[in-house]
Amino acid sequence: MKPTVVIGGGVVGLFTAYFLQQQGEEVIVVDKGDMEENCSTGNAGMIVPSHIVPLASPGMIAKGMAWMFSSKSPFYIQPRLDKRLVDWCLQFYRHSNAAHVQRSIPYLKAISLYSKQLYLDFVATHGNEAIKLQDRGLLMLYKTKEGEKEEAALAHLARESGLRAEILSKDDIRKLEPHHEVDVLGGVYFPDDAHLSPKDLYRLLKNHLEKSGVQLQRNVTITGFEKSAGNVNAVMTNEGKIDCGQVMVCAGSWSGEIAKMLGFRLPMMGGKGYSFELPNTPELKQASILTEARVSQSPYGEKVRFGGTMEISSHVDKINMRRVQGIFESIKAYYPEFKAAFPSQDKIWKGMRPCSPDGLPYIGKAPGWENVAFGAGHSMMGVSLAPATGKLLADLKSGKIGTLKTDAFAVDRYAR
């Protein structure tokens, strides 16, 4: 039997390999990088069933236009002559409406809750010492009346969808953050959310897979495919040919380029984000999102990670220090007592989030191919949805039919 080749060694690719290996498959993971630092290692590490509204939603266009004129804003699109960017922006605009949000909610809720349970199962099997999963909820903090209105509406929407959400006063928040006088008007608490250490999760997955016999091939570039009669027989790389029985494409922001090699359209743009760790002094205890600033903070005992921005840019390796400054300034705005020193550039992480134009991931069979499937386009929810995506792809390979509805995530929805 020929092996299954997973293209992409991020957290989605590794969880796909994990569940395939559990089903007895021979698996080879191929990644164009060194599998040390990538989009899976420096993010907020949040597991967020509360995030049932896709990125393409009402109000995002107006906010995006306003943010475009601030060098420190949470969102930025680098203007450039790029047909892919223009097409992506048009599709994003078409999906930024209430009808799309209502259609998307049941799908995002179901896959997020499934993924959360898979994380709990993973911890039960492998222990929690390594990944530091903290099942303590997520706090959405707001400073303004406009922020209060938006977050209260989201809390109401979550409750209508069967999720738990609590609207908190400033005094309520003080109980969750006993070491800080948090400078906010109030917040919304989602008790079913969680967070973990993404770097430690990634390290654990790599070590487990290699010990289990999964091949991890690093610094390998995909150059094409050997095809016949609707099947891919081999993956062509700069290191040679890899014969395969199945291909799973989990290549993040570069999945669109792989789709192009296979002859179909998969709209995808990379949304660059930044983060950095600081000493947790005084100690922050509750994972939170600073809503007006669109900044996340995830505490891990002695350290806390701050992250944010969505920068649609062609400058993959460049760090925009003005946007990092915007993240940093938000710390004092919400936590005036926090002792923060601006990080040096070598301590700043950057990663390209894979963004589909409708804010929904691509999960399922590739159009026109019997043995190719995709799991990509998770935007800021890659870690959150990685176990569910990997399990769905592994079940697709084995022919198992689950109860989770996934048609909204169809890979061919822009190729029809």
pLDDT (tens, 9 = 90+) of the chain, 416 residues, equals 899 999 999 999 999 999 999 999 999 999 999 998 888 888 999 999 999 999 877 766 656 655 555 656 677 777 777 888 889 888 988 998 999 999 999 999 999 999 999 999 999 999 998 899 999 999 999 999 999 999 999 999 999 999 999 999 999 999 999 999 999 999 999 999 999 999 999 999 999 999 999 999 999 999 999 999 999 999 999 999 999 999 999 999 999 999 999 999 999 988 889 999 999 999 999 999 999 999 999 999 999 999 998 877 666 778 889 889 999 999 999 999 999 999 999 999 998 899 999 999 999 999 999 999 999 999 999 999 999 999 999 999 999 888 899 999 999 999 76
Residue 64 near residue 75 (C-beta atoms within 8 A)? yes
- Nearest-10 crossing angle of helices 83-95, 60-67: 130
Q: Are residues 204 and 307 in the same domain?
A: no
Q: Are residues 362 and 316 in the same domain?
A: no
Longest dimension (CA), the chain: 65
Structural domain count of the chain: 2
Assigned token pair, 204: 């654990």
What dihedral do alpha carbons 169, 175, 178, 180 form, nearest 10°? Answer: -10
Whole-number Å distance between alpha carbons of 97 and 84: 22
Q: Are residues 337 and 312 in the same domain?
A: yes
Domain range for 17 is 4-40+200-267+358-409
Residue 415 lies in a domain: no
Residue 122 lies in a domain: no
> For position 395, which CATH number holds?
3.50.50.60
Q: What is the pLDDT of residue 76?
A: 72
Nearest to 362 by CA among 287, 266, 283: 266
Q: Are residues 323 and 400 in the same domain?
A: no
Q: Are residues 347 and 369 in the same domain?
A: no
| Strand 166-169 versus strand 75-77 pairing type | unpaired
Q: Are residues 226 and 92 in the same domain?
A: no
Give the H or E element holding residue 363. strand 362-365
Q: Are residues 348 and 277 in the same domain?
A: yes
